[in-house]
Amino acid sequence: MTQLSKSQVSAMAKTLDEQVGAFRNRPLDQGPYTFVWVDALTQKVREGGRIINVHALIAVGVNTDGQREILGLDVATAEDGAGWLAFLRSLIARGLTGVQHVISDAHTGLVDAIGAVLPGASWQRCRTHYARNLLSQVPKTAQPWVATLLRTVFEQPDTDAVHAQMKHVLDALEAKFPKAAEHLDAAQHDLLAFTAFPYEIWRQIWSNNPQERLNKEIRRRTDVVGIFPDRTAVIRLIGAVLAEQNDEWTEARRYMGRELLAKARLHPIESETDEPDLPTELTA
């Protein structure tokens, strides 16, 4: 294999940076984007003579044609409200519209940022991540029983049955593990947000699992690097992976049918242009 010179490597990196930059800053003009998944991946970067953690913020949406689309990528120093707020605002500035449901793990500050930038959009707490949190509230010997119990909530055929089963689950937990019951009771509103939408798409919108598969591919590529020389290198590599995935999704079959999307959009939503007063921690 012919060894590349430093100038050749530099030229290749510059070209890739330009391509990724164009991809990250393209107009989001295929909306409305009814459903959006967001996540953050921690990466190690050399900065100021130290190795620090930064967070790659990633958003994926379903466009008006029912295709999945990479909406954005940014790198934040901290995975906090300010970082999420800036990220979501950047998506709005590029044309993101029509968001009715945001799916994610319970990232610090994200829910407040969604409320500030996407008023009227519901937040779905990822059922997979939440299940792990709930299981940590009970002894290991009881975890299989609790996991099975929680799954029954998501096996119901309609909204009323889901909420009724949640009540049964809470009662069963209360009898054996009151703290776990309290934990679930506090989370149930966000855990069951998916029930406001058509049954046919529940499995696609009640967890972050679709993005987890994307994250796995990103980690496979970034693990080879280990520690990045700077933030630009993080964006270059992850951005290239995302652009490649976006191209594949464009050619793939629709993730959601147009009729189902139209039905889902009957869910009422407020205008995204008027931001409410922000919590203090987001304006500091």
Q: What is the pLDDT of residue 169?
A: 98
Q: What angle do CA 201, 117, 124 make, to 5 degrees?
A: 30
Tens digit of each residue's pLDDT, the chain (284 residues):
566 666 666 677 778 888 999 999 999 999 999 999 999 999 999 999 999 999 999 999 999 999 999 999 999 998 788 999 999 999 999 999 999 999 999 988 999 999 999 998 999 999 999 999 999 999 999 999 999 999 999 999 999 999 999 999 999 999 999 999 999 999 999 999 999 999 999 999 999 988 888 999 999 999 999 999 999 999 999 999 999 999 999 999 999 999 999 998 876 544 343 444 444 344 43
Q: What is the pLDDT of residue 37?
A: 97
Rounded Cα distance, 262 and 58, in Å: 25
Tell me the pTM.
Answer: 0.88
Residue 121: Cβ within 10 Å count: 22
Both tokens assigned to 144: 């299989």
Contacts 24+ apart (CB under 8 A), 196-200: 196/101, 196/122, 196/159, 196/267, 197/101, 197/264, 197/267, 198/260, 198/263, 198/264, 199/157, 199/158, 200/260
Dmax (CA) of the chain: 69
Name the nearest CA neighbour of 166 among 130, 215, 198: 130
Rounded Cα distance, 235 and 224, in Å: 15
Q: Which CATH superfamily is domain 11-126+208-255 in?
A: Ribonuclease H-like superfamily/Ribonuclease H (3.30.420.10)
